[in-house]
Amino acid sequence: MTQTENAPVGRLGDHELPPDFPELPRPLGPVEPAMRRSPGEEARTLVAATNVASLATLTEDGHPWASLVTYGALLDGSPVLLVSRLAEHGRNLARDARASLVVAAEPRGRDPLAKGRVTLTGHVERPENEDVARDVHLKAVPTASAYAPFGDFSLWVLRVEQVRWVGGYGVMDWADAGSYATSEPDPVASAADYAVGHMNDDHPDALLAMAVAFSGHTDATAARCTGADRYGLDLMVSTPRGKAPARVGFAQRVDEGDGLRQATIELTRRARAEA
């Protein structure tokens, strides 16, 4: 089991709230447990979704150095970099193998920190198999074929030792290196944004039914979908007592990229059957 079972949580975690900060409305009825992606799955999903990241390395005098890089990922999620000795980070890695990579989700909405990102730290090393590493990088970064033959570029594999996932405000967790290596990127990730928009635009009644049936907010008056993944949907539920985040889960994990629609239809049916 790589996933974790979570009741919906307040999205403010351990932040130190001012005394007058409004409390989130609490569920009035039972909350149906809903699965979420594990931190390892969140990390692998973010890493699989793009090919650009920021790298932290160490300069000769031990100062941190931030720079932009492209990457592909091996089957175990280890990022493969192709960097030039002309770049500071290329010289830094050749001198000191300690490195950290942050991969961020595409911004959604106007708040850059409401989106997910993951920090991977570890040591870089030359690839065991240069050809495999080069192919993985070039598949993820097709434009790299223009400079891959240049003599100043080298392949590096980041052996991931620590994984810190941040999902948004107060939503963060560690994944161990083993769980990162064996977790699977979410196959429905690329379909999620469309699904979220479609549910909000065309099926607000279905979302409200889910909120009433499963989130414990039995007085819900509306619900917006804020996220979708292979295990279920994230909702923001409006009640006369204020708005609260909630999680509603599919009966079964979705294993196919095009399975999100069917799972959402089944969840809606189940919600309406409870009404």
Through-space distance between the first and last CA atoms of the chain, rounded to whole angstroms: 32
Kindly tell me which of 151 and 240 has the beta carbon lying closer to a copy of itself: 151
x/- track of binding to a copy of itself for residues 46-75 (CB under 8 A): -----xxxxxxxxx--xxxxxxx-x-----
By CB under 8 A, residue 130 contacts a copy of itself:
no
By CB under 8 A, residue 145 contacts a copy of itself:
no
Q: Yes or no: say if 97 and 57 are a contact pair by the CB < 8 Å rule.
A: no
Q: Which residues make Cβ contacts (< 8 Å) with residue 127, sequence separation at least 6?
A: 80, 133, 134, 155, 156, 157
CA-wise closest residue to 254 among 270, 227, 231: 231
**Where does this chain touch a copy of itself (CB under 8 A) — which range of 7-15, 199-207, 217-225, 248-256?**
7-15
CB of 70 to a copy of itself, least distance (A): 5
- Distance separating alpha carbons of residues 40 and 45, to the nearest angstrom: 9
**Where does this chain touch a copy of itself (CB under 8 A) — which range of 27-35, 73-81, 82-90, 250-258?**
82-90
By CB under 8 A, residue 121 contacts a copy of itself:
yes
Kindly tell me which of 146 and 275 has the beta carbon lying closer to a copy of itself: 146
β-partners of residue 275 are: none
Q: In this chain, which of 5, 23, 60, 111 binds a copy of itself, going by CB under 8 A?
A: 111
By CB under 8 A, residue 228 contacts a copy of itself:
no
H helix and E strand count, the chain:
7, 12
- Distance separating alpha carbons of residues 197 and 205, to the nearest angstrom: 14
CA-wise closest residue to 249 among 233, 264, 260: 233
List contacts with a copy of itself (CB under 8 A): 13-18, 21, 51-59, 62-68, 70, 84, 86-88, 98-102, 104, 107, 110-114, 117, 119, 121, 141-143, 147, 149-152, 164, 166, 169-170, 172
